[in-house]
Amino acid sequence: MAIAALHLASWRSAYRGIVPDAFLDAITMESRVVRWTRAVAAAGEQQVTTLVAEDGRNIVGLSSFGPSRDRAGFGEVYALHVLPHLRRTGIGSVLLRRTESRLRDVGWADAMLWVLRDNVAARRFYEAMGWVTTGRERLEVHHGYEIPEVELKTRVSAAPG
């Protein structure tokens, strides 16, 4: 429940003004619970890991990662979210560096992720962390809404900068 609530709050905050309000408003807590329940249950068989950041009582951030779904030989960051009121406090940076380390530990030399094309704040964050845009783009369709994304990548075999 806590992961689903964080994910929903993060989406509604970060993507408002980037994707249609009707799309964000249609995402329910119940759908997030179902999504994360399935993801956690299937994690072992799909080699997916989810890390959470806690403040001692509550989950305040999460990262989900594993093998790339569409690029052979790459690890992939599937999701990185921090509670909206705790963004820019370093939680996302710590989660991303730990994610990179874990990807490296299981043998990936390179990692990639997809980010909403128009999510300028997220793109700046990843670029500041050493990730680079590859030029690959895709159009994701969620519940009838087209959402353009761009790919970023980094080398995880080298020590973080």
Q: What is the pLDDT of residues 61-112, one digit of tens each?
A: 999 999 999 999 999 999 999 999 999 999 999 999 999 999 999 999 999 9
Q: Encode pLDDT of 46-67 as tens digits.
A: 788 999 999 999 999 999 999 9
Q: What pTM did the predictor assign?
A: 0.91
Of residues 11, 57, 59, 54, the one with CA closest to residue 31: 11
Q: How far is CA 111 from CA 26, 34, 48, 68, in A?
A: 31, 27, 14, 8
Q: Which domains does the chain have, with CATH numbers?
A: 2-155 (3.40.630.30)
Do strands 110-116 and 74-82 pair parallel, antiparallel, or not at all (unpaired)?
A: parallel
- Terminal CA-CA length for the chain: 34
Q: Encode pLDDT of 4-35 as tens digits.
A: 999 999 999 999 999 999 889 989 999 999 98
Q: Could you tell me the two tokens for 81?
A: 């979210």
